[in-house]
């Protein structure tokens, strides 16, 4: 919806009105705080929106219903807080995991992690200890073994074959602040797909008001510093190497290490199951302990579209 557009609609679950949406868009892009919140319940069959939309000054009625498919049977293992993070991940469909392997002649993972911490010069997140003992992958994409971890800059110049100078060199495509971030950041996860990407940890954290660089995030307040020495997790990709995408919570503070690791599982495992099978299906996840993020979009005033964004591959809200 563009600035000035508005929508007023009843939300019906299985024929019962459960909420009323009354919203006028005041800023471009999307915001993390939702325009409204209502409860989902396991076993629901249909969600319906009935109301009026005002787009570009023209008001039209609409009435649209979707058949609901719940991802909970697939996602529930990941959110079972009675188990450790690695046990939850190992039980999630689409994840490959097993005991970490030590290459002949290489240092044990614990010693490698201690050496890495000394080399980085800062205390490393405790979640990295999981990777001392476990290999976790999603097809060709994977958490790096501790012995192979390095700064983002070393990853770019080494494994990814970037050059320091020249037309496509890091000195040309990166601003000084982004280059400094890559120099001090630890690459932890590598994405292999349509180009190369990675998730990394910057021990310096964020500057107040720093843009998150996530798609559709215009008009939002920017990053807010959080716990000292916690740092910030972020994604980088070859398509937008100059704009690392920060992993921030609903208050725009850096996500915890466990939340960042879980986000990887959501992006690379659960995102394979959240696509509707047709235009009349709405996918939800009642097992997710966080609110499901549903985006409303109008292809035209009488044709609303509603879909789950919680596991969206590109828009890293969750």
Evaluate if residue 63 carries a pLDDT over 90: yes
Strands 232-237 and 195-202: antiparallel
Buried b (16+ CB within 10 A) or exposed e, 62-82: bebebebbbbbebbbbbbeee
Q: Are 3 and 26 in contact (CB under 8 A)?
A: yes
Which pLDDT belongs to residue 313?
A: 62
Average pLDDT estimate for 164-168? 89
C-alpha 281, offset from chain centre: 23
Q: What is the pLDDT of residues 220-241, one digit of tens each?
A: 789 999 887 789 999 999 999 9
Average pLDDT estimate for 67-71? 97
Q: What is the pLDDT of residues 25-55, one digit of tens each?
A: 988 777 777 899 999 998 999 999 999 999 9
Q: What is the pLDDT of residues 270-311, one digit of tens each?
A: 988 999 999 999 999 999 998 898 999 898 878 999 999 888
Binned at pLDDT 50, 70 and 90, residue 314 comes out as: low
Which pLDDT belongs to residue 214?
A: 83
Evaluate if residue 153 carries a pLDDT over 80: yes
Which pLDDT belongs to residue 107?
A: 81
Q: Give helix then strand counts, H and E, for the chain.
A: 8, 14
Which pLDDT belongs to residue 302?
A: 86
Which residues, 6 or more positions from 122, have their beta carbon under 8 angstroms from its beta carbon?
203, 229
Q: What is the rounded distance in angstroms from the CA atom of residue 100 to the CA atom of residue 158?
A: 23
Binned at pLDDT 50, 70 and 90, residue 108 comes out as: confident
Half-sphere exposure of 231 (CA within 13 A, CB side): 18
Which pLDDT belongs to residue 30?
A: 73
Q: What is the rounded distance in angstroms from the CA atom of residue 234 to the CA atom of residue 241?
A: 12
Evaluate if residue 217 carries a pLDDT over 90: no
Which pLDDT belongs to residue 318?
A: 44
Mean pLDDT of the chain: 91
Cα separations (Å) of 296 from 25, 61, 115, 154, 241? 12, 15, 49, 42, 30
C-alpha 113, offset from chain centre: 26
Residues 214, 299, 11, 251, Cα dihedral to 10°: 10
Strands 6-13 and 46-55: antiparallel
Q: Are 136 and 94 in contact (CB under 8 A)?
A: no
Which residues, 6 or more positions from 191, have their beta carbon under 8 angstroms from its beta carbon?
141, 197, 198, 199, 237, 268
Rounded CA Rg of the chain: 22
Evaluate if residue 219 carries a pLDDT over 90: no
Evaluate if residue 215 carries a pLDDT over 90: no
Average pLDDT estimate for 162-167? 92
């Amino acid at each position: 919806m563009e600035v000035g557009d508005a929508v007023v609609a009843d939300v019906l679950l299985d024929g019962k009105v459960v909420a009323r949406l009354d919203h006028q868009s005041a800023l471009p892009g999307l915001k993390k705080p939702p325009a409204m919140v209502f409860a989902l319940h396991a076993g629901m069959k249909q969600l319906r929106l009935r109301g009026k939309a005002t787009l570009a000054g023209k008001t039209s009625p609409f009435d649209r219903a979707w058949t609901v498919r719940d991802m909970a049977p697939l996602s529930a293992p990941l959110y079972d807080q009675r188990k450790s993070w690695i046990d939850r991940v190992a039980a999630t469909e689409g994840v490959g995991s097993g005991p970490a392997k030590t290459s002949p002649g290489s240092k044990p993972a614990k010693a490698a992690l201690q050496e890495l911490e000394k080399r980085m010069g800062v205390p490393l997140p405790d979640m990295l200890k999981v990777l001392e003992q476990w290999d976790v992958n999603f097809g060709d994409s994977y958490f790096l073994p501790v012995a192979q971890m390095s700064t983002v800059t070393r990853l770019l110049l080494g494994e990814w074959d970037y050059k320091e100078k020249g037309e496509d060199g890091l000195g040309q495509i990166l601003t000084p602040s982004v280059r400094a971030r890559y120099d001090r950041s630890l690459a932890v996860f590598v994405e292999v797909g349509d180009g190369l990407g990675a998730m990394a940890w910057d021990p310096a954290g964020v500057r107040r008001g720093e843009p998150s660089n996530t798609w559709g995030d215009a008009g939002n307040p920017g990053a807010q510093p959080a716990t000292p020495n916690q740092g910030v997790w972020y994604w980088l990709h070859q398509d937008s190497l100059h704009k690392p995408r920060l992993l921030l919570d609903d208050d725009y503070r850096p996500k915890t290490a466990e939340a960042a690791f879980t986000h990887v599982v959501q992006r690379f495992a659960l995102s394979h199951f959240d696509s509707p099978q047709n235009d009349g299906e709405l996918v939800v996840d009642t097992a997710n302990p966080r609110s499901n993020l549903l985006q409303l979009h109008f292809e035209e005033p009488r044709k609303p579209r509603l879909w789950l964004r919680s596991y969206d591959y590109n828009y890293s809200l969750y």
